[in-house]
Amino acid sequence: MPFIIDVEASGFGRGSYPIEVGFARPDGSVHSCLIKPEPDWEHWDDSAEEVHGIPRKTLFEQGCTVREVAQMLNEELEGKVVYTDSWGFDSTWLSLLFYHAGLRQLFRLETLSKLLSEKQIAIWAKVKQQVTLDLNIDRHRAGPDARMLQRTFELTASA
């Protein structure tokens, strides 16, 4: 089973930044944490908040610093290949996180599609929909989304 990572953000456009990162380990366990915005991270898209449900105020109250999050990711994922279903966005947001933390990212991010066979791609959407129902997950939160993607990968690989 691959490591799967997901990043939630303040929005999708210019100036957006990571607000939560979560990953699913090969054993299915999940870790996630909120990220306290840096002083110059001011962009906030209310429609993005409607999707992930995380108020900006909560990030300041419960979030870890970018350095704490980057260190945790490096400690847990060092030397590993970690997969995402949204490589373009997630790689940008992780790069921003590590830049502001003043640390080098010690794991490699790859697109999940590299692991998928044609058969998996053909049944992915249907299986993903069922997994979301089965796990009763809170969609658009980083940890649960990473686990949902990992479980979908697992079920499509064995189908």
Residue with tokens 């686990």: 147
What does the radius of gyration of the chain's CA atoms come to, in whole angstroms?
A: 15
Sort 97 into a burial class: Cβ within 10 Å, 0-12 / 13-18 / 19+: buried
Whether pLDDT at 58 is above 90? yes
In this predicted structure, what is the pLDDT of residue 138? Answer: 65
- pLDDT, tens only, 106-149: 999 999 999 999 999 999 999 999 998 888 876 689 999 999 99
- Taking phi over 0 as left and psi of -120 to 50 as alpha, with beta for the rest, 53 belongs to left
8 Å CB contact between 81 and 62:
no
Q: Own/partner pairs for 85-89, CB < 8 Å, 24+ apart?
A: 85/6, 85/111, 85/112, 85/113, 85/149, 86/6, 86/7, 87/111, 87/112, 89/7, 89/9, 89/12
- pLDDT, tens only, 29-55: 999 999 999 999 999 998 888 888 899
In this predicted structure, what is the pLDDT of residue 71? Answer: 98
CATH code of the domain made up of 3-157: 3.30.420.10
Whether pLDDT at 74 is above 80? yes
In this predicted structure, what is the pLDDT of residue 78? Answer: 98
- Token reading at 56: 């900006």
Rounded mean pLDDT of the chain? 94
In this predicted structure, what is the pLDDT of residue 104? Answer: 98
Segment (H or E) for 46? helix 46-52
In this predicted structure, what is the pLDDT of residue 139? Answer: 67
pLDDT band (50, 70, 90) for residue 156: very high
8 Å CB contact between 96 and 17:
yes
